Amino acid sequence: MVRPATMVLTGFGINCDYETQYAFFKAGSVARRVHVNDLIERPGLLAEYQILALPGGFSFGDDIASGKVLANKMRYRLGRALESFLEAGGLVIGICNGFQVLVRLGLLPDGRSGLGRQRVSLTYNDSGKFEDRWVHLEAENRMDCVFTRGIDRLELPVRHGEGKFVADTEETLEELERSGQVVLRYCTPGGGQPEYPENPNGSVNAVAGICDLTGRVFGLMPHPEAFLHRSQHPRWTRQKLVEQGQGMAIFRNAVAYFE
C-alpha cells in the first residue's frame, strides 16, 4: 500500500514543524518538512503530496497580525498551486498559527471557492495575555469533517496570544453554525458551557476549530501534535492514560482518508 505524503511547511518562525512531521509519520504518512521559499520556487511540488500541514509557531514574528504576512506571501506566490491542490482532493490542516494563516487566506471557512475574502478571524485573547494551558474540547460531527471523524472529546494544550475566534457578521456566524462547520468547541471537563479559563481566549460560541464545506480543510487553535504520547500529559504520573495521546486521532484520520 502506498502511504500518503504530507508536506509540512517550515521557515520564518514556524516552530512546531518537527512535532507535526512526527505526528504524521506516526500516523502512517510519508511526511517531509518543506521550507516556504522552496515551495515558492517550485509550486508544482505541492502536486506530489496529498496532505498539506501548516504548523503552529510565530511566522514572521506575528508582525501586523498573527499569520497575516505568511498568508499574503502564500496568496500571491502560491495561490494557483493551492487551488489546484484542493481541486485534486488534497487535505489541509492549520494548527494555531496555521489556522490563523488559513482564515486570512480565505481558505476557511469556504475553501471550495479558492482563496476568498476573509470572513472570520482569530484576534487577541480576552485575558490580554498569552495563554499556555490544557483545555477540554467537544467535537461536533454534524458534517463530515475528515479530521474529526469518530472523535467525541479531546484534551489538548493551547499556546497563543491571538486565539479568540470571531466572525465579520452575525450572519457569517449563523451560517457556520447552520452548516455544521464548527467542529470543535471548548468545554468544561464535564462537557458544559465554558467560561474562562475553560474557554481560554473568549472565542465566540466557544469555537476552537472549523472546517470548510468539503470537510477537507481544517483549522484549530489547540495543538494535537503536542499530545501524541501519554507522558506529554501534565497528569501522566497521576492519572491512568492510554499510551497513545488523544491528538493522534486527528492525524490518523487524515492518513486513513487516503487508504
Mean pLDDT by 10 residues, the chain (259 residues): 91 96 97 97 97 96 88 93 95 98 93 72 97 97 90 97 96 95 96 95 98 96 98 94 96 95
Domain of 208 in residue numbering reads as 5-256
CATH number of the domain residue 248 falls in:
3.40.50.880
- Residue 59 to residue 9: CA distance in whole angstroms: 11
Contacts (Cβ under 8 Å, ≥6 apart) of 9: 17, 33, 34, 35, 36, 39, 52, 53, 54, 55, 98
| 35 has catalytic annotation | no
| 211 has catalytic annotation | no
pLDDT score recorded for residue 1:
61
Q: Into how many domains does the chain fold?
A: 1
Catalytic residue among 16, 96, 187, 211: 96
Cell numbers placing 149: 471523524
Cell numbers placing 183: 467542529
What would the pLDDT profile of 132-147 be if each residue is shown by its tens digit?
Answer: 999 999 999 877 899 9
CB atoms within 10 A of CB 237: 9
| 225 has catalytic annotation | yes
- Residue 243 to residue 251: CA distance in whole angstroms: 16
Peptide bond before residue 234 is cis, with ω within 30 degrees of 0:
no
Catalytic residue among 136, 160, 223, 233: 223
Full-model pTM: 0.95
